[in-house]
Amino acid sequence: MNSTGSSAPVSHIGVLTSGGDAPGMNAAIRAVVRTAHYHGLMVSGILEGYEGLVTDSVKKLHVRDVSNIIQRGGTVLRSARSESFRSVEGRSIAKQTLDRHGLDGLVVIGGDGTFRGASIFTSEHGVPIVGITGTIDNDLGGTDTTIGFDTATNTAMELVDRIRDTASSHDRLFFVEVMGRTTGAIAMHCGIAAGAEFVMVPEKKQGIPELIHVLERAAKNKSSVIVIVAEGDEEGGAYEVARKVKERFEHYETRVSVLGHVQRGGNPTVADRLLASRSGVAAVEGLLAGRANEMVGIVNGKMVFSPFELVVQGAKPKEEDLMRILRILSI
């Protein structure tokens, strides 16, 4: 028995990617499709997330349909933010689509919104669903990290490395904006890895006075300074933060760089491909074992299942610890 009370084994599962795309989603799709076939299940891909269930965009996937995608960013199933799936009527149409195709289980790859939708759908229609982490934000409970986060952070770090080369040649103060509307995980990890002087994240109110203090110290002995700003920081994005402080630091030329969507693209790293492969196998085998309404994550190196309701509460804040490390290392 699983957490929804269903004990029916699955025979034909669907897989979809939903919400913002993340590098490694393709590796997860491949793992789901191949694991399903390995265990004698039929598997179909649903296009454009939950929207594909509403519009009946479903196609059978065979083992060779997922050849040559493990290394590609984005998602071959495409992703979407489906408004219709948010309504009772939309989800009822989605259930009819599942029935028409004989789908009796789902693997959904996405972020917290995706799992909220899955949880509601299961409670209304009893469909067993297992989730796989697919978000660059690393903002989910029940897992230490998410598929796409490592790649996105590496991309941001490489770009900041390049900015450092030019910044240190010209006594420049750079404000670099990275993705993260509600979470500063990319900003914090990339900040430490690229040796930034200061990081501003939505989870922690530090404010302009603390930034000015750090910049005043750096101005005495550093040829370049890099401040990483998560896009959702309450002081505003990188342009706004730069505007608030630049007059006080005329010694430096001030520049702003918004990294934007390059952080979502690119070939997934080894860590993301491995996590995606492990998650795909675990998700299908979880469905076969009667699991439902749960997401598979990685905790201390092991694959673990957690209920969607816990997952959507978000990750435990780790930023305080990392802030301290950054403060020590950026003197």
**Using CA atoms, how far apart are residues 250 and 274, in angstroms rounded to an integer?**
47
CB of 233 to ligand ATP, least distance (A): 18
CB of 110 to ligand ATP, least distance (A): 4
**Using CA atoms, how far apart are residues 163 and 147, in angstroms rounded to an integer?**
26
Nearer to ligand ATP (CB atom), residue 111 or residue 141: 111
Among 211, 254, 209, 247, which Cα is nearest to 229's? Answer: 211
Nearer to ligand ATP (CB atom), residue 13 or residue 129: 129
CB of 134 to ligand ATP, least distance (A): 7
CB of 61 to ligand ATP, least distance (A): 21
Task: Indicate the residue whose CB is closest to ligand ATP.
Answer: 113
Q: In the complex, which residues of this chain contact ligand ATP (CB under 6 A)? A: 18-20, 49-50, 81-82, 85-86, 110-114, 116-117, 120, 135, 137
Residues forming the active site: 137
Nearer to ligand ATP (CB atom), residue 10 or residue 312: 312
Sign, CA torsion 48/53/59/65: positive
CB of 68 to ligand ATP, least distance (A): 25
For 21, the token pair is 């795309």
CB of 118 to ligand ATP, least distance (A): 8
Strands 172-178 and 58-60: what pairing?
unpaired
Residue 303 · residue 297 · CB < 8 Å: yes
Burial (CB < 10 A; 0-12, 13-18, 19+), residue 247, is: exposed
Residue-by-residue DSSP string for 44-111: EEETTTTHHHHTT-EEE--GGGGTT-TT-SS-TT-----SGGGSHHHHHHHHHHHHHHT--EEEEEE-
Residue 226 · residue 194 · CB < 8 Å: yes
CB of 120 to ligand ATP, least distance (A): 5
**Using CA atoms, how far apart are residues 87 and 74, in angstroms rounded to an integer?**
27
Size of the chain in residues: 331
Residue 165 · residue 177 · CB < 8 Å: no
Nearer to ligand ATP (CB atom), residue 98 or residue 241: 98
Beta carbons within 8 Å of 248's beta carbon, 6+ residues apart: 212, 215
Among 92, 96, 75, which Cα is nearest to 84's? Answer: 92
Nearer to ligand ATP (CB atom), residue 56 or residue 171: 56
